[in-house]
Structure 1
């Protein structure tokens, strides 16, 4: 655990008693703070009280003694309207921060020499974070991976000179981290998402840009330039005379930076551009979107001082990220791919662009726009298997364009898709769970949905008496 310093013998109010909230309470108390906490959920309040947390209704207490207000990133800060506790904090003139801000302050105050790599973006940040963590470990440093993926940041090990913190940060977390200044900041891409929480795509992009706002001149900003919002941010950061900027791209040649053309990696960060490696053989980093992730990770490795050979060797042993184009099994010409983390159409497009002969399991709780934007990938799909609440909407979109079957539940979809793929002939076939939907109509989260997919696939193959390599 990292003790949250700076509030010894002072009162800190906290709202949101989920996993990160409880870890933040412990970190603040370890730093000597008095914490009063609240949550709208009675069950979470009861759980926290059993754990010894001082639970108090923040809407009914005075705020005159509160030194800071720590807000869970899942709670509205500005849109669609501020949570009532946010309004009270504003009225009392109390600063509003999150656990990432406490983490940044604690690491800086330690003066241990640890470095922070912070990764954000609409899509790909979890895979990129996991890949960077794997690379850092393989290159001999102490990788501490967490944030919006895995462990909450304050549950990571305390800083040491060899520590590299590899932290995934969402727009919500950046919004609550006003002094965040990573040694290496990574922005992969920006596409419309979380508009309900930021009010507009422009506000969303502005929050993402804050990742680089406080970086010193000896820091590095790695920024994807394949969408207009990220390109604009790259231009602005370059003009600010702040951190060193490394643009990254997949599909276009850059005058400077790191880019990938047809799977070949080029490094243009030095005096001349060199061909640095080949991503095409990397089985767990297939597809152009993963090449962007790998290009960003490569740029991070170089910024941290690792050699090209060590970085690329590390990529070869990367096992992949659970629920993101994860290969669950492969048997008799059929590959079973768990892409449950694809909770919107843009995320699903990455898997659809990677494979041909797809038996596509799709559906759940639809997001705005549905799958209308995926029409260019429909010729790759042999049949679609509709599940969940979005079935009617998606059937209307697919009608006359893609053959589909209404399965309603995931177990039926897996069985039907597997049987169809196994009966087909020719080129390798892919049974793909890439739902383009949230999971909340039938599952608690995308992880539970992905694990169910894995279970159903292995059960099917076991029933058929087949290997599940």
Structure 2
């Protein structure tokens, strides 16, 4: 655990008692603060109280005595309107921060020189964070991975001179971290998202851009330039002439930066462009979106001083991230891919774009727009297997364009898709769960849906001739 710095013998309030909120309370108490906490959820309050936490109604907090309010990133700060606790803090002149801010202050106060690699972006940040953590570990570094992925950031090990933190940060977390100053900051991309919490796309982008504002000489800013907003941020960051800026791209050659063309990664961040390595045969980094993730991770690896050879050796052994184009089995030319995290059509397009000869399992609780936007990728689909509430609507979209079966449930879809894929003639066939839907019609969450897919694949393969690789 990382003890919060700067609040010894001071009163601090924590609002929001999820995983990160409870970790925040423990970190503040370890740093000597007197902490009072609250949550809108009666269940969470009861669970925290049973765990020995000090639960005090926010209406009874001594607002004029508080050194800070530490706010859960899930609580509205500005839009659609500030939460009541935010308004109360502002009225009392109390600083409002988040756990990432406490983390940054603690690392700075430690004086260890521990490095922070912070990764954000609308899409790909979890995979990129995991890939960077894996790369650092395989290259012999001491890495701690957390933030918006895995462990809450304050639950990570305390900093040492050798520590490199690879942390995923959301726009909500950046909004609550005014001192965040990563040694290496990565922005992958910006597409419309979380507008309800930021008001406009432009404000959302402005919050993302804050990741770079406190960087200085010797720091590195790695910025995707394949969308207009990120490109503008890259230009603005470079104009400040502080951190070294490394643009990244997929599909276009850069005069300076790191880019991927047809799966080949090129490094033009130095005096001349060199071929860094081939991503095309890396099973867990398939598709253009993963090539962008790899470009960012490669640039981070080079900024940390790793050789191209060591970086690509690490990429080759990357196991992937659960439920994100996760390869769960292969047998006799059939690959089984768990992409349960694809809860909308845009997310599903990444996997469908990465593979051909796809036996596609789709459906669930539909999102607005359905799957009409995927029509250009329909030629990649050998057959679709429809499940859940969206099955009838998806069938209407696919009618006359893609062969499909109404399966209803995930186990039935796995059985049918496995049988059909086994009979296929293509050299590589892919049974793909990429639902393009939320999971809540049949499952608690996308993780449970992916776990059941993984289990059913192993069951069907065992029943039809033994376990798969």
Instruction: Give the TM-score of the pair, scaled to structure 2.
Output: 0.96
Task: For 1:323 and 1:23, locate their aligned partners in 2 and report how far apart those are by CA, in whole Å.
Answer: 25
Structure 1 residues 424 and 193: CA distance shift in structure 2, 3 A: same
Give the conservation status (yes or no) of the 8 Å contact 2:357–2:426: no
Task: For 2:283 and 2:218, locate their aligned partners in 1 and report how far apart those are by CA, in whole Å.
Answer: 35
Higher mean C-alpha deviation, range 389-398 or range 148-157: 389-398
Match of 2:268 in 1: 268
Structure 1 residues 265 and 390: CA distance shift in structure 2, 3 A: same
Task: For 2:394 and 2:89, locate their aligned partners in 1 and report how far apart those are by CA, in whole Å.
Answer: 43
Higher mean C-alpha deviation, range 399-408 or range 154-163: 399-408
Match of 1:163 in 2: 163
Give the drift of 1:129: 0.7
SS in 1 for 2:185: strand
Match of 1:335 in 2: 335
Task: For 1:28 and 1:164, locate their aligned partners in 2 and report how far apart those are by CA, in whole Å.
Answer: 22
RMSD of Structure 2 on Structure 1 (CA)? 1.5
Give the drift of 1:307: 1.4
Match of 1:93 in 2: 93
Task: For 2:464 and 2:210, locate their aligned partners in 1 and report how far apart those are by CA, in whole Å.
Answer: 53
Instruction: In structure 1, list runs of 5 or more residues that go unmatched.
Output: none
Give the drift of 1:444: 2.6
Instruction: In structure 2, list runs of 5 or more residues that go unmatched.
Output: none
Give the drift of 1:199: 2.0
Is it true that 1:23 corresponds to 2:23 in the alignment?
Answer: yes
Q: Deviations over 1:143-186 (max 9, x none)?
A: 10011111110011111111000001111111111111100001
SS in 2 for 1:306: coil
Task: For 2:203 and 2:80, locate their aligned partners in 1 and report how far apart those are by CA, in whole Å.
Answer: 13
Match of 2:142 in 1: 142
Task: For 2:285 and 2:118, locate their aligned partners in 1 and report how far apart those are by CA, in whole Å.
Answer: 20
Higher mean C-alpha deviation, range 27-36 or range 410-419: 410-419
1:272-421 → structure 2 map (5 Å cutoff)? 272-421=272-421
Match of 2:70 in 1: 70
Match of 1:447 in 2: 447
Give the conservation status (yes or no) of the 8 Å contact 2:222–2:296: yes
Task: For 1:93 and 1:440, locate their aligned partners in 2 and report how far apart those are by CA, in whole Å.
Answer: 41
Give the conservation status (yes or no) of the 8 Å contact 1:195–1:204: yes
Task: For 2:319 and 2:147, locate their aligned partners in 1 and report how far apart those are by CA, in whole Å.
Answer: 20
Higher mean C-alpha deviation, range 453-462 or range 191-200: 191-200
Match of 1:238 in 2: 238
Task: For 2:403 and 2:72, locate their aligned partners in 1 and report how far apart those are by CA, in whole Å.
Answer: 43
Give the drift of 1:60: 4.4
Higher mean C-alpha deviation, range 453-462 or range 391-400: 391-400
Match of 1:114 in 2: 114
Give the drift of 1:449: 1.6
